Amino acid sequence: METMNHEYYVSSEIAKLLEKAGFDWKCRKCYNKGVLFDMEPDEIRTQTPQHSSYDVLAPTLEVAQRWLREVKDIDVYIFPTTNNKRGCVYEWGIKTFGRALWVEGQPYTNQYETYEEAQEAGIKKALELILKKGE
């Protein structure tokens, strides 16, 4: 998970899963050989394709989460909870059509120190479910 200007971008691994699931929204960032770069504007890419190649699009976590909700009807939600040993931690859940998806017997599998870590883990699990189902 990369951050620039307080925006959190999906990891290269999640970006590849998004591509396999059909993600095609415009992005300001991309990955090229695992490194996060600014996307060239469309007009520059068409004029100089040799200098504007990229491996995969890199949306922010919020854009990936919104794409899952709007395109795949899957809502990844994050919620704070308390842990007696660590104080506040974050967990994730997945809903589709208003019903919770039970993943491996639980709506969530781990607790995370930050909202963004939980968000990325939930997005990853949602994408794995989509790809496993073959949508």
Number of other residues whose CB lies within 10 A of the CB of residue 131: 12
Residue 102 has pLDDT above 60, yes or no: no
pTM of this prediction?
0.82
Report d(CA 68, CA 131) in Å as an integer: 12
* Structural tokens at position 66: 């919104």
Residue 111 has pLDDT above 80, yes or no: yes
- The pLDDT-based confidence of 109 (bands split at 50, 70, 90) is low
Which pLDDT does position 19 carry in this prediction?
96
Which pLDDT does position 50 carry in this prediction?
57
Radius of gyration of the chain from Cα atoms? 16
Number of Cα atoms under 13 Å in the Cβ half of residue 58: 26
> In this structure, what DSSP letter does residue 66 have?
H
- The pLDDT-based confidence of 44 (bands split at 50, 70, 90) is low
